[in-house]
Amino acid sequence: MSELPEMIHAGRIIPLYPSGEVLKSEGLDSRGFRKILYSALEKLKGKIPEILPNEIVKRRGLILREESYREIHFPTDENSLDTAKYRLKYEELFYFNLLIEHKKKEREKIKRVLWPLPESETANKVRKNLPFQLTEDQNSALQKIKELTNKEQPIAVLLQGDVGSGKTLVALLTALRYIDNQIQVCMVAPTEILARQHYQTILSFLGNMPFLGIELLVGKEPKKNRYEKLYRIKKGDTLFVIGTHSVFQEDVYFSELGLVIIDEQHKFGVDQRETLRSKGKNPDILAMTATPIPRTLCLTLYGDLDLLTIKSKPKGRMPIQTKWFQEDRREGIYKSIRKYVSSGRQCYIVYPLVEESEKVDLKSCIEAYEYLKHEIFPDFEVGLVHGKMEVEEKDRVMREFSKNRIQILVSTTVIEVGIDVPNSTVMVIEHADRFGISQLHQLRGRVGRGDQESFCILMTDSKVTEDAKVRLEAMVNFSDGFALSEIDLQLRGPGELMGVRQSGLPDFKIADLRKDSNLIELTREDATLFGNPGDLEKEEIRGRFSEGRLLFSN
């Protein structure tokens, strides 16, 4: 080691390696690591095999693997360093996309058992009774799903839509093609409020049509009620089940489950999705999200799914005016709320509630409710809803609000997704700097659902962090959830954006989902053309990704 050339430590671009006090005491600081790596690379000269296909190396102008290892640790110059990084990023993403392609091909081996009708008489009646026309994106999504369900393989679709774009209606019209053929459909939502909202929305779309056997299956309900529901589901009398995590339980059996609809699917784990799939007969999967996901994340997380996007909003909706105000504008805001509520409109006032400070946050929300109810808006009905309330009380408050018997609703983020009260035109978000972009956008989506002008007011103290400032300014300047998701990705990174625990994000060592979007597309294209992975490719995938170890364990 002592004979290694000094030039690896000076007079060139030198690598710095993370270390700690214990490692440094053993001589393993950056200098020590450089010595070890230089020595290792010298010993391995001519012995590091090329693992990428020659055709790809030539077509993409990649340097060889051995050269990339040498240049990333001891680069000749900046250009050589960039070339080495590019090669290693390509390699990592290529093998990941081979894994995605393998999953797609394995799914294509599964054969369809239950076939939906090409056309649904009930769906056609629903469409005729709608007081509006479907958007171009909705029609396009329905047509694409119809084409996919004509195939012999069960479908796996991710339907992305911005807030208020009409995904639930697309899901219902799709579901009716199964129900009209006596095939069961199960729609699962992450919260009871959202499940109940879907249930009510779907009943309202169906109007006075013949009973289709729709059942709501949620957490707490009398044993006798639950038993009777489970019996009807098992027997096949219930054709449409809408529920929460309760549908995953072992005592839930279906007779002919052919379509699984998973709303806000990123809030469910892979195991939960597979549990529901296993309850059916090779059912189709329609996953939905109202949280727009950046394209690079979509390709990485859900590359084995068919991606459909709904961007356009129903005609007649006015854009939401978003304003960022500080404490000195509070009196003026309360005055504006009085004006709008006096004219017959409704208002949300939302407070943050996070696990780390749950008790304090809840106390602040309840105290604010008391103050607003008695001191600020004594002439109006003010309601309160939060996650710790009993389900029956939450439902009662939401029903009263939807009927305009409550004009001002003070709440935590339990109203973030799925609440649809078109008469609500004002949303005030307190301590808005404590929310992420995605959550702010979801909350804003609770207003602007009718034909009246709507407002979203972001309230903060006078001092906010630089990151918070970027988030708040983005909310003021952008209404498109997909544009906001790209900003959010740059700010927080993929793990924070999706929630690492359930997202299934791969542990990339060098590729960066924020910066390498072009390379993700390129390697996806090459992996698609490559074909089935052989033993060498499987070994690489198994060594790199936890999902690969599960798939290729034998």
Give, for all 554 residues of the chain, the pLDDT tens digit.
Answer: 445 566 677 667 888 888 888 888 888 888 888 888 888 999 999 999 999 999 999 999 999 999 999 999 999 999 999 999 999 999 999 999 999 999 889 888 999 999 999 999 999 999 999 888 999 999 999 999 999 999 999 999 999 988 888 899 999 999 999 999 999 999 999 888 889 889 988 998 988 776 678 999 987 788 899 999 999 999 999 999 999 989 999 999 999 999 999 998 777 877 788 888 899 999 999 999 877 888 888 888 788 889 999 988 888 788 899 999 999 999 999 999 999 999 999 999 999 875 556 677 777 888 999 999 999 999 999 999 987 888 788 888 988 998 999 999 999 877 666 577 889 999 999 999 998 898 899 899 889 888 889 999 999 988 999 999 999 999 999 998 889 988 988 887 776 655 544 455 777 899 998 889 899 999 999 999 887 888 888 888 888 888 888 778 76
Q: Looking at the DSSP assignment, which residues form a beta bridge with residue 243?
A: 188, 217
Question: Residue 494's pLDDT is what?
Answer: 72
453, 469, 495 - which closes a domain? 495
Whether 209 is covered by a domain: the verdict is yes
147/175 same-domain check = yes
The amino acid present at 544, given as its one-letter code, is R
Q: In which order are the strands placed within the sheet that holds 240-243?
A: 214-217, 240-243, 184-188, 257-263, 284-289, 156-161, 306-310
Picking from 12, 394, 1, 456, the residue whose alpha carbon sits closest to that of residue 195 is: 394
- Tokens linked to 437: 């972009």
99/74 same-domain check = yes
472, 495, 518 - which closes a domain? 495
301/327 same-domain check = no
Q: Please say whether the dihedral angle defined by the alpha carbons of residues 274, 278, 282 and 286, taken in this order, is positive or negative.
A: negative
Question: Residue 210's pLDDT is what?
Answer: 63
Question: Residue 459's pLDDT is what?
Answer: 95
Whether 503 is covered by a domain: the verdict is no
Whether 519 is covered by a domain: the verdict is no
Picking from 253, 294, 270, the residue whose alpha carbon sits closest to that of residue 517 is: 294
Whether 142 is covered by a domain: the verdict is yes
Which helix (H) or strand (E) is 546 found in, with range? helix 546-551
Q: In which order are the strands placed within the sheet that holds 320-326?
A: 320-326, 454-460, 424-429, 346-350, 408-411, 382-385
339/287 same-domain check = no
132/253 same-domain check = yes
* 3 state SS of 208: coil
pTM of the model: 0.83
* 3 state SS of 139: helix
| DSSP characters over 213-266 | -EEEE-SS--HHHHHHHHHHHHHT---EEEESGGGGSTT---SSEEEEEEETGG
82, 108, 134 - which closes a domain? 108
Q: Looking at the DSSP assignment, which residues form a beta bridge with residue 347?
A: 408, 426
288/344 same-domain check = no
210/353 same-domain check = no
Whether 84 is covered by a domain: the verdict is yes
Q: Please say whether the dihedral angle defined by the alpha carbons of residues 274, 278, 284 and 286, taken in this order, is positive or negative.
A: negative
Domain count, the chain: 3
Secondary structure (H, E, C), 447-510: CCCCCCCEEEEEEECCCCCHHHHHHHHHHHHCCCHHHHHHHHHHHHHHHHHHCHHHHCCCCCCC
| Residue 31 contacts residue 9 (beta carbons within 8 Å) | yes
The range of the structural domain enclosing residue 403 comes to: 320-495
| Alpha-carbon 209 to chain mean position | 34
Alpha helices by DSSP H, 154-191: 167-179
Phi, psi for 17 (deg, rounded to 5)? -115, 140
Whether 14 is covered by a domain: the verdict is yes
Whether 21 is covered by a domain: the verdict is yes
343/221 same-domain check = no
387/276 same-domain check = no
156/282 same-domain check = yes
- Cβ count near 277 (within 10 Å): 17
- Tokens linked to 223: 């044993």
| Residue 416 contacts residue 261 (beta carbons within 8 Å) | no
Whether 29 is covered by a domain: the verdict is yes
| Residue 452 contacts residue 320 (beta carbons within 8 Å) | no
Question: Residue 2's pLDDT is what?
Answer: 45
Question: Residue 502's pLDDT is what?
Answer: 43
